[in-house]
Amino acid sequence: QVQLLESGGGLVQAGGSLRLSCVYSISGFSIDSLGWYRQGPGKQRTLVASISSGGSTNYADSVKGRFTISRDNAKNTVHLQMNSLKPEDTAVYYCNAVVRIFNHWGQGTQVTVSS
1: exposed, middle or buried (Cβ count in 10 Å: 0-12, 13-18, 19+): exposed
What pLDDT is recorded for position 75?
A: 94
pLDDT at 30: 87
| 109 vs 10: CA distance, rounded Å | 8
**Is there a contact between 21 and 4 (Cβ–Cβ < 8 Å)?**
no
Reported as a pLDDT band with limits 50, 70 and 90, residue 81 is very high
Annotate 69-106 with DSSP letters as a single string.
EEEEGGGTEEEEEE-S--GGG-EEEEEEEEETTEEEE-
CA distance 18 to 105: 20
